[in-house]
A and B are shown apart, each in its own frame.
Chain A
Amino acid sequence: MANSYYDPADLRKFGNITEWSEELGKKFFDYYGKVFEEGALSAREKSLIALAVAHVVKCPYCIDAYTKDGLQRGITKEEMMEAVHAGAAIESGATLVHGVMMMNKYNKLSM
């Protein structure tokens, strides 16, 4: 095991997962490629969604990949940061909306 759980060079080896399970790996990469093609949403829009999700799932490889992808597409840093905030808002909202659960429980248990 390396000294660190995450090695930036491992991102280049992502495709290697296919070696240990060719069928599933191939299906995944075909699906992945298809998802990010131009569709009802532009590839540019999907890149920003991917960047936001990358932050929410806190995947360093994905953040690396989609920051670079955004730069290649000419996406500005302001657009990228807004996407990150959109992800963060949903994530913090998801925490906070559980506050209602806490309030319900509190009220139920209180006289």
Chain B
Amino acid sequence: MEQSILTEIKNAAKKSLKARHNELADTHRQMDILNGDLFADGELPYFKDKIAQTGQFPLKPKKLEILQINVGYMCNQVCEHCHVDAGPDRKEIMTRETMEQCLEVIRNTGAHTLDLTGGAPEMNPDFRWFVEEASKAGIQDFIVRSNLTIILANKKYHDLPDFFKKHNVHVVSSMPHYTRNKTDKQRGDGVFDKSIQALQALNKVGYGMPDSDLRLDLVYNPSGAFLPGDQTALEHDFKKALKEDFDIDFHNLFAITNLPISRFLDYLLASDNYEDYMYSLVEAFNPSAVANVMCTNTISVSWDGWLYDCDFNQMLDLKVASKVKHIKDYNEEVLNDRNIVISQHCYGCTAGAGSSCQGTVA
């Protein structure tokens, strides 16, 4: 990419699209682009038509396994690729009242995994209370998606590794690359060094060690307009480099494809990569990934309690196509009888080995 465009995006990316009043902060504008000429003119097939070819339309949920709750869009970082458009200027934060409604669901759900995300979930003032209460529900796998740097961002967060350990939280953290240059380019200057320190702090209390039950997994997102490579090969490279250079251990690496929405969509358009990227996604379409795509086993809850098929649909404001649309009315049986809402961004989860918040799916 040309240096001037890169600088422009980097400077702009210190604030969310919303704070910049960027047109892409409007989800309708994003949907217009995703339904735009590239697909309307028949150059590429609509996702709906593509999955219909393999008899997979309409996409229906299977058994609910994962309840993913987004506790707010506030974050200490402003990553260039963020699909949440999170940042310090985002004020959407889950209230304790909504958390209580979530807890009611957590206590009664058939899902085996609870997955807290954000923003930086730790920045929600009721985060610790919520984790303490939720951990009492005895969910098998309790994930918190931590961006790592939050642990060092302020003194009040320094004890997070111990707090996570106390509640047997499964920590899943973003790490775009094992080199400083690539990490800082995507996530901001200094993020790599802080992430390394945070990982070492997590290792110190037992997280990520080879025989430890304290799970520490990393998430890899490509830092640019290309798809992730083979997850196993990337995991091997990450493990080798982080061990040799920093004596860091972790369990698994999840390779996640960037979906063409929000800030990543902004980047694709500004860098003139949108069309090529959509081609790459469509060309890599894999029907067996469709069968296991995460919206078939996940419900995503927003900071204000609305229900979505996934975190990406949440960011596009595409609520579930069900009578039950809000956590206060939650009914798993009714919800499971819905058709999943899809659009062209869904190609991101069905490319190659597939992509989900738990990594590849095919």
Q: Could you tell me which A residues sit within 8 Å of B by CB distance?
A: 8, 12, 42-44, 68, 71-74, 76
Contacts and interface: CB of A to CB of B under 8 A. Distances in A.
Contacts of A43: 230, 233
B228 A72 contact: yes
Given A43-B233, A71-B226, A73-B233, 18 more contacts: A8-B276, A42-B233, A43-B230, A44-B233, A44-B237, A71-B222, A71-B224, A72-B222, A72-B227, A72-B229, A73-B230, A74-B178, A74-B220, A74-B229, A74-B233, A74-B234, A74-B237, A76-B182
Interface of B: 177-179, 181-182, 220, 222, 224, 226-230, 233-234, 237-238, 276, 279, 283
A73 B182 contact: no
B357 to A, nearest CB: 20
Q: A71, A72, A76: which has the most chain B beta carbons within 10 Å?
A: A72
Contacts of B276: 8
A73 B233 CA distance: 8
Contacts of A74: 177-178, 220, 229, 233-234, 237-238
Nearest to B228: A72
Q: Across the A-B interface, give the 6 residue pairs with the lowest CB-CB distance, nearest first.
A: A72-B229, A73-B229, A71-B226, A72-B226, A68-B226, A74-B234
Contacts of B224: 71
B91 to A, nearest CB: 35
Nearest to B283: A12
A42 B227 CA distance: 19
Contacts of A71: 222, 224, 226
Contacts of A68: 226
Contacts of B226: 68, 71-72
A38 to B, nearest CB: 9
Nearest to B279: A12
19 contacts: A8-B276, A12-B279, A42-B233, A43-B230, A44-B237, A68-B226, A71-B222, A71-B226, A72-B222, A72-B226, A72-B228, A73-B229, A73-B230, A73-B234, A74-B177, A74-B220, A74-B233, A76-B181, A76-B182
B237 to A, nearest CB: 5
A44 B12 CA distance: 35
A42 B182 CA distance: 23
A8 B272 CA distance: 13
B180 to A, nearest CB: 11
B234 to A, nearest CB: 5
Contacts of B229: 72-74
A76 to B, nearest CB: 6
Contacts of B220: 74
A44 B234 CA distance: 10
Contact of A76 (B179, B228, B234, B283): B179
A44 B237 CA distance: 10
Contacts of B279: 12
Nearest to A77: B181
Nearest to B226: A71
A105 B177 CA distance: 54
Contacts of B228: 72
A8 B179 CA distance: 30
Nearest to A38: B233
A89 B33 CA distance: 46
B275 to A, nearest CB: 9
